[in-house]
Amino acid sequence: MQAREGEMADHMHTVPEEALKELPPAHKALGKLGRALLARFPVWPIVDFLRNKKVPEHRHAAWYMMGGLALFFFAIQVFTGILLMVYYRPAEPWQSVQRIVMEVPYGNLMRSIHHWSANLMILTLFLHMFSAYFMKAYRAPREGTWLVGLALLGLCMAFGFSGYLLPWDDLSFFATNVGLTEMEKAPGLGPWLASLLRGGPAVTTDTIGRFYVLHVVVLPLAVLGLIGMHLLFVQIQGMSEPDSFAALPACQKKHKKFFFDYFASEIPVWLAAFALLVALSAIWPRALEAEADPFGAAPLGIKPEWYFLAQYQALKLFPGKLEYAGMALMGIVPLLCALVPFFDRAVPSDRRGTWIERAGVALLVGFVVLTVWGWIS
């Protein structure tokens, strides 16, 4: 008993005086609760860290919101995804999705939000990646954050690819078929990986089992872990400052407190993002096509989702034997992106920085042009 009290006293000791001063008066319920909690869980340094978290204020600061926005959409994905899992049955995929869409109250809304939020999440991730690239946020010491971020983008695209099959309608069946066939053509691990994902020589309901587990267990665990790392890195290293801001003398650098000044200015953006999501889902709910018929003809005008269109169009540009060149390009671009932090020596006057900027512009323009081209052709 004595020893326990001594331990408690030790913990009490770790809470600094000013922490208690910040709380409401000791006789009020909130103050009592706060003191009791702090005594048991002396997390004051974390609270204190967050209270002092600052965000640089400059004209490119709006881009800092993209990461938070992507996280917001991811949270909505987790939430609506859990709800969809309540009624989804991998053994009767199309029938269960049809039930969600046609019978379950608000099921159509949940599915549409899940669909639109996925698209908006990937769009924000692209914006987040390109803004980090052009603000040179990848440079030392933030190489790790950049690499984890690239991995997150890749995993989210895998999320999209695996989720697309699950409704088992005409579109999803053939999109998966095409995607896996392309993967199969890749030299080396391609055929092996494709057949492992497919679970056999053809896309069947067996493939659904694999994609389902990927989509609801493997990928969420991996993404949650990586998001944790990504956020932890950002907290430890602080927000990256663009060159123009970093070059300012210390007295001219303006910062905003994260809580609640910066946070308060983010709330309207989140509200708008949510309203956009609801508007898209209400006005253009996601349709469910006819059930997949593995022996039927592919539906008219079938195309992959927009975030795969650039790759799809690029592969079309390399017909026949040249297809390998196209695939090599698919592999080289992400690899180069991953290598950028080790190539850029972080000296503002260095010529390499300029080259990296130009390469980034070329990549962005190429991506947009190929996507639009794929869309209209």
Partner 1 sequence: MNYPIWDVGGLGAGLVVAIIAIIHVLISHVAVGGGAFLVVAEIWSRRQPDGQRVRDWLHTFATFFLVYTTVLGATTGVGIWFSVQLASAEAISLLIHQFVFAWAIEWVFFLSELTVLYLYYYGFKRNTPRMQTFLAGAYFVIAWGSLVVINGILTFMLTPGAWTIENKDIAAGFFNPGYFPALLIRTVTMFLLAGLAGFLVASRIRDEEFKGRIIQFCVKWVIPGAILVPGLGYWYFTTLPASTVTILAGGTVGVVGGTLSALTRMAILAGVAGTSLVLGTLVFAAYPKTVNTIAAISMLLVAQLGIMGAEFFREMGRKPYVIHGVLYSNGLWVKDAKDPARLNGPYLEKAKWHGGVASGTLAHGEQVFRLQCASCHTRDGYRSVVYRTRNWTAGFGSRWLGTMHDMGVMPPFQGDALDKAALVAYVLSLRGETVDPRDLLPDRQATAQGDDLDPDGSGQALPGLEVAGAEVGR
Partner 2 sequence: MTDSNTTRREGDGGRRRFLGGLGLLSMAWAGGLLYPVYRYLAPTIPKDPFDAEGKAPVEGVKAEDIAQPGQGRNAGFAGGGLVVFRTPEGELRALSSKCTHAGCNVEFQGGSIHCHCHGGVYDLEGKNVSGPPPKPLTRYRVAEQGGLLYVYRPDKA
Residues that bind partner 2 (CB under 8 A): 83, 86, 103-107, 109-110
The answer to whether 315 and 323 are in contact (CB under 8 A) is yes
Q: What does each C-alpha distance from 204 to 177, 178, 180 come to in angstroms?
A: 10, 14, 12
Q: Which stretch binds partner 1 (CB under 8 A): 139-147, 194-202, 207-215, 286-294?
A: 286-294
* Residue 343 C-beta: closest distance to partner 2, Å: 46
The answer to the question of residue 71 lying near partner 1 (CB under 8 A) is no
Q: Which lies closer to partner 2 via its Cβ, residue 110 or residue 197?
A: 110
Min dist. Cβ of residue 88 to partner 1 (A)? 15
Angle 65-87/219-237 helices, nearest 10 degrees? 160
Among the listed ranges 23-31, 81-89, 185-193, 258-266, the one in contact with partner 1 (CB under 8 A) is 258-266
CA proximity to 144, closest of 352, 344, 357, 341: 341
Report whether 55 contacts 254 (CB < 8 A).
no
Of partner 1, partner 2, none, which one does residue 83 interact with (CB within 5 to 8 Å by kind)? Answer: partner 2
Among partner 1, partner 2, none, the one that 287 touches (CB under a kind-dependent 5 to 8 A) is partner 1
**Among 101, 152, 216, 340, contact with partner 1 (rule: CB under 8 A):** 101
- Residue holding tokens 């030299």? 187
Quick one: which segment of 97-105, 141-149, 156-164, 193-201 binds partner 1 (CB under 8 A)? 97-105
- The Cα 116–Cα 285 span in angstroms is 9
Dist. CA 243–CA 238, nearest whole Å:
15
DSSP state of 214: I
**260: cis peptide before it, omega within 30°?**
yes
Binding site for partner 1 (CB under 8 A): 62, 65, 98, 101-109, 112, 256, 260-262, 264-269, 271-272, 274-276, 278-279, 281-290, 299-301, 376
